[in-house]
Structure 1
Amino acid sequence: MHANNASDRCEPNLVPILDMVFQLITFFMLVINFKAASVDRELELPVIGTAAPTLAEEDSDLLVLNLRSDGKVRVRGELVNDPVSFISIESRTIRQINGIATGKPLPVRVVLRGDRTISTRSVMNLVDACRNSGFNKFDFFVVRSATQGKNP
């Protein structure tokens, strides 16, 4: 006698695997959206032929400041009315979260993205405000060649 039971055939249950794949895709889509929100797409970055990125792998905490052609600063997709106050508040928040004493340097790298039409004075005012609040690591983003377009 030949029995045709359900136990004779073994089929893998793909539902948990598909569920996990869907969750991973959703997670990475959200991460990409948050990363994109910190970059101001309207900036026209200056062109420099030999610019190279200096972001180290250990620098995971970034504060991206987008300095627009009209002199306004945009952070995480929002316009900041008073950049000096914002930087000071951000510094205090980071110190409280990480338990860092006042006067010690912060472990956050400030990334400045400035429109090519802004003055050096505007950039340096922003750098000075950051340094006065304890930020000591900086990166400046530029377009490495004219063929790269507006936003690297």
Structure 2
Amino acid sequence: MSGSVVPKESAEPNLTPLLDIVFQLITFFMLVINFATDNYDQRIRLPDAGSAQPVEDSQRVLEDRLVLNIDKSGNLLTGNEVQPLNEATQTIKHQADLVKLNLKVTGVKLDVATAGLPTTIILRADKDVTFSSVLNLIKACQNQGFRKFALKAMIRG
């Protein structure tokens, strides 16, 4: 009888490095995912406008945006915080400093005094807020170098 008592060797791949790389990729993509919808506070009831038009996707991707949510009392909503105008001014100044730092790091030459900052301020103001409250926030943004603004409204249907 010609049989072998030597056990057959089976080649099983080691999946630990593969699983490690997959986990690292998942972690990386979770960190860099765009949480754009986090900027839109659901407590804000936007005004209705018959001439409101959605922003085209090509414009949305190319521009730097800062979303400001304004409640019916004229306060700036940031996350779970409600900031009155004096605190909102500090937040806007901080955001302007971040934009300027980003321009400096990326090497973009821009005269902020004449051209303004390239960031578009998107104002999401509650329909019951007074115009003077919105105007005060716009002036605070302009004092920090922001020149481009967009107002959000609901499309009247």
- Work out which of the residue numbers 134, 139, 145 in structure 2 matches 1:134: 145
Question: Amino acid of the residue matched to residue 44 of structure 1?
Answer: R
Distance 1:39 1:138 in 2: 16
1:43: Cα distance to partner? 1.0
CA 1:94 to 1:125, structure 2 compared with 1: closer, same or farther past 3 Å? Answer: same
1:90 match: 95
Q: Give the AA of the match of 2:147.
A: N
Task: Give the CA deviation at 1:67.
Answer: 0.3
The reply to whether residue 4 of structure 1 matches residue 1 of structure 2 is no
Length, aligned pairs only: 142
**Which is richer in strand?**
2
- Secondary structure (helix, strand or coil) at the match of 2:117 reads coil
Matched, 1:117 2:117: no
1:75 aligns with 2:78: yes
Of 66, 70, 87, which aligns to 2:69? Answer: 66
Structure 2: runs of 5+ lacking an equivalent: 105-109
SS in 2 for 1:136: strand
Contact 1:112 1:140 in 2 (8 A): yes
**Per-residue CA distance 1:67-98 (angstroms, 9 max, x = gap):** 00121111344322322343234323432453
> Larger Rg: 1 or 2?
2
Determine if contact 2:72/2:130 at 8 Å carries over to the other structure.
Answer: no
Structure 1 gaps, min length 5:
147-152
Offset, 1:131: 1.6
1:43 match: secondary structure: coil
Aligned to 1:149: none
Amino acid at match of 2:89: V
Residue number in structure 2 paired with 1:150: none
Q: State the SS of the aligned residue for 1:65.
A: strand
Which region of structure 1 is more displaced relative to structure 2, 121-130 or 29-38?
29-38
- What's the offset of the Cα at 1:101? 5.5
1:141-152 matched pairs, under 5 angstroms: 141-145=152-156
Aligned residues of 1:38 and 1:77 also touching (Cα < 8 A): no
Task: State the AA in 2 paired with 1:39.
Answer: Y
After superposition, the Cα gap between the structure-2 partners of 1:20 and 1:123, relative to the gap in structure 1 and judged at 3 Å, is farther
Provide the aligned C-alpha RMSD in A: 3.2
Shift of 1:14: 4.0
- The sequence identity of aligned pairs, in percent, is 35
* Alpha-carbon distance in structure 2 between the residues aligned to 1:128 and 1:4: 80
Q: Return the offset for 1:109.
A: 1.8
SS in 2 for 1:53: coil
AA of the residue aligned to 1:113: R
